[in-house]
């Protein structure tokens, strides 16, 4: 993966207004044949502690137990179990997302754009923060901080070997 050309964003909502954030450090590894996606595999590792929500006070808060709990769960992972083509250059990766110690099956749609020496994967998926215990206790209520979090990614891959 080429970190300079890649971005992993998560967009929460605060009082029904988008509150964007980003995991500054993550890595994606892919074994993929666009024409035969069946044997493919996608592994993504995210350094949760690199989360940045652009507001100093918010960045302090999200470290805590109610949110990402950096001390106990510094990393998140996605491991695909199946990749398939939807149509054209659009695919979907089915797999397990491990975040804050919770494993959930998710389907991540993405587009595949080959480029010189590699390719760009782009897509987005909406997850429920409650499913991963992100925002517990009084924060579990979704009136102020919405239940849905949109995860958006652009991954620039270089052909290995």
Partner 1 sequence: MLRNTADSWGAPAKLFHWLMAALILAQIALGLMAAGWRVSPAKLELFFWHKSTGTLILALVALRLLWRLANPTPLLPPGMAAWERAAARLSHLLLYALMIALPVTGWIVNSASNVPFRIFWLIPLPAIVAPDEPTADLAAGVHGGLAALLALVLVAHIAAALRHHFVKRNTVLTRMLPWRTS
Query: What is the binding site for partner 1 (CB under 8 A)?
Result: 14-20, 54-58, 61, 138-139, 141, 143-145
Residue 11 beta carbon to partner 1: minimum distance, rounded to whole angstroms:
10
- Per-residue burial over 65-102, b if 16 or more Cβ lie within 10 Å, else e, is ebbbbbeebeebebebeebeeeeeeebbbebebbbbee
Residue 44 beta carbon to partner 1: minimum distance, rounded to whole angstroms:
26
Residue 130 beta carbon to partner 1: minimum distance, rounded to whole angstroms:
14
Which of 86/144 has CB closer to partner 1?
144
Which of 71/144 has CB closer to partner 1?
144
Which of 19/131 has CB closer to partner 1?
19
List of long-range contacts for 99-108, beta carbons under 8 Å, 24+ apart: 99/48, 99/73, 99/132, 99/134, 100/48, 100/68, 100/69, 100/72, 100/73, 100/76, 100/132, 100/133, 100/134, 101/72, 101/73, 101/133, 102/131, 102/132, 102/133, 104/131, 104/132, 106/78, 108/78
Which of 39/137 has CB closer to partner 1?
137
Query: CA-CA distance, 142 to 105, in Å (whole number)?
Result: 22
Residue 151 beta carbon to partner 1: minimum distance, rounded to whole angstroms:
17
Which of 70/139 has CB closer to partner 1?
139
Residue 58 beta carbon to partner 1: minimum distance, rounded to whole angstroms:
8
């Amino acid at each position: 993966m080429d970190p300079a050309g890649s971005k992993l964003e998560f967009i929460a909502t605060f009082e029904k207004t988008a509150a964007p954030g980003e995991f500054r450090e993550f890595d994606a590894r892919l074994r993929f044949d666009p024409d035969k996606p069946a044997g493919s595999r996608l592994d993504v590792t995210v350094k949760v502690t690199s989360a940045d929500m652009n507001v100093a006070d918010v960045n302090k808060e999200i470290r805590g137990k109610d949110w990402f709990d950096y001390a106990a769960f510094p990393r998140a992972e996605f491991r695909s179990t199946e990749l398939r083509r939807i149509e054209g250059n659009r695919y979907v990766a089915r797999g397990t997302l491990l975040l804050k110690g919770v494993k959930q099956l998710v389907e991540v749609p993405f587009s595949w754009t080959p480029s010189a020496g590699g390719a760009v994967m782009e897509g987005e998926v909406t997850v429920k923060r409650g499913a991963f215990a992100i925002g517990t206790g009084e924060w579990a209520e979704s009136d102020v901080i919405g239940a849905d979090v949109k995860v958006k990614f652009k991954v620039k891959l270089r052909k290995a070997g």
